[in-house]
Structure 1
């Protein structure tokens, strides 16, 4: 079954991580997916990593959709405007917008107060986390609202409930991730008259390419990382949050989530989807009830 056949999606920031997982799952559901990012097979971004948007597009097509790679720096309004013009010219519509641009893994200085944190790195983080989403929404939403039932998904880290009660170990990181949740709430208000929906969505502890490299493991032996960090056993693949987005996009009653902040684990319980290993990790409940509570790592009841 292809519940998203005929739908057109834009995953902004789909080179790797959550963006790639989301793009693949939208493709598996039958969508045409535009995947954007800065790294191509001929040019790398400041990340200097090997993943490319062309690879993501090929994975989308292999999954059963149609992947279209477009190199875009979402801090450059002219590039984003040209991207939306291309989508309008080629497809005539946009049904799903996923604002996943981040790009700041290497900028955060953890447990460093704002007066000691690099100001240049902190402000760059905010630009990558916030301005990219604002610029993309500015140009993409006029196309999306032409038809009813459009969906905007703002990808962040942490639910509103969790972030409201927890300091995220960095002034700039805390602000960046909380702001994206607030963006979804504001967009929900502005999109409601057009029968469109905006949702803030967080994955759990995600086994992105960068996270796997950090622990010196691969997806095949990821459990070995528990020797360094026992709570890593609650982690999930990028495809899990991808399935969350696909479930939202296929839900005829998705408006019930308008303005809400949700997690992949929460939506798995509602829509009955599973991670690639057949489990349903509920990371944010685990973080509160096990990790933050100082209990030994144990996913019983959380996967």
Structure 2
């Protein structure tokens, strides 16, 4: 029997019987999206490079694993399946496609939450430098991790999304198309990566429409990811302490805008809402935030709030 949080019994959509793939489900938004799909009862294939069973290089030295995410999906009422994949390795992604074709025959929801360049983008003090002052290899690696992975994954897996009408592709990025078109983001490399993912949703939506499928770009707001919480020396249970100017633990103080931050589950519930919407085609080629989706569909974050960090920009 699918378990549900008491506050979600009446509002959580039912995605039982749906097969979802969250590419980049190890941590952050990817884990939050996988968890929300689990809340809705979906079967969720969780891919990434940090695994308890497969030794694979990662750009992060972090403890989170895809197996942890898969277990969380199952605990929340779905069926979580971990598959270790480096999405820059075409052969590995093709092998993933072959396995999914054999096991399920279809993908109902494909989420491209592939990134891995959070360290490469540098700390805030390094932002806004001219392109020639950046390490070129690091900059090109950002584009490989943030754009090439999406292209490789879509090329290999979208044939399974269009197997039957109604498929959904979600491209996860930082900033809506409108916001990014009018704001410089961190560096030329980071800026290009995040703008590109929005455009990918638009261009792939053009390809998918004729097959009755939908592509949409979704951005969270200020995400309380594992890495963000660690940066401020807090956990999800005491994250408000990060804004305490009287703290003496040596960690940086978060700015007031962090009050409008959100858990990774918030953007996940937005993805679930689109997936459960019979009229999801209205989102094709569009770029939206988790807060935008919350206003349309009425869901909340895990604490009952509806944060909108973009409204403060």
Q: TM-score, normalised by structure 2?
A: 0.90
1:184 is aligned to 2:201: yes
For residues 259-303 of structure 1, give each alpha carbon's deviation from its aligned partner in whole angstroms, at most 9, with x where no partner exists: 00000000000000000110001221222xxxxxxxxxxxxxxxx
Instruction: Give the equivalent residue in structure 2 for 1:33.
Output: 44
For residues 65-117 of structure 1, give each alpha carbon's deviation from its aligned partner in whole angstroms, at most 9, with x where no partner exists: 00000000000011001111111111111110000010000001422210000
1:260 is aligned to 2:271: no
Instruction: Give the equivalent residue in structure 2 for 1:299.
Output: none
Unmatched runs of 5 consecutive residues or more in structure 1: 288-303
Instruction: Give the equivalent residue in structure 2 for 1:19.
Output: 30
User: For 2:171, what is the secondary structure of its paired residue?
Assistant: strand
Instruction: Give the equivalent residue in structure 2 for 1:79.
Output: 92
For residues 226-264 of structure 1, give each alpha carbon's deviation from its aligned partner in whole angstroms, at most 9, with x where no partner exists: 232221101000000000000010000000010000000
The number of aligned residues is 287
Instruction: Give the equivalent residue in structure 1 for 2:274.
Output: 248
Instruction: Give the equivalent residue in structure 2 for 1:209.
Output: 226
1:104 is aligned to 2:101: no
Instruction: Give the equivalent residue in structure 2 for 1:56.
Output: 69
How far has the Cα of 1:133 moved from its partner? 0.3
User: For 2:132, what is the secondary structure of its paired residue?
Assistant: coil
Equivalent-residue separation in structure 2 for 1:2 and 1:150 (angstroms) = 16
Which runs of structure 2 are paired with 1:1-303 in the superposition (5 Å)? 3-42=14-53, 43=55, 45-109=58-122, 110-227=127-244, 228=253, 229-287=255-313
User: For 2:131, what is the secondary structure of its paired residue?
Assistant: coil
For residues 15-60 of structure 1, give each alpha carbon's deviation from its aligned partner in whole angstroms, at most 9, with x where no partner exists: 0000000001101111100000000125362311000000000000
Deviates more, 1:82-91 or 1:234-243: 82-91
Deviates more, 1:33-42 or 1:245-254: 33-42
Is contact 2:257–2:309 with CA below 8 Å preserved after alignment? no
Moved over 4 A (4+): none
Unmatched runs of 5 consecutive residues or more in structure 2: 1-11, 245-252
For residues 168-213 of structure 1, give each alpha carbon's deviation from its aligned partner in whole angstroms, at most 9, with x where no partner exists: 1211111000000000000010000001000000000000000001
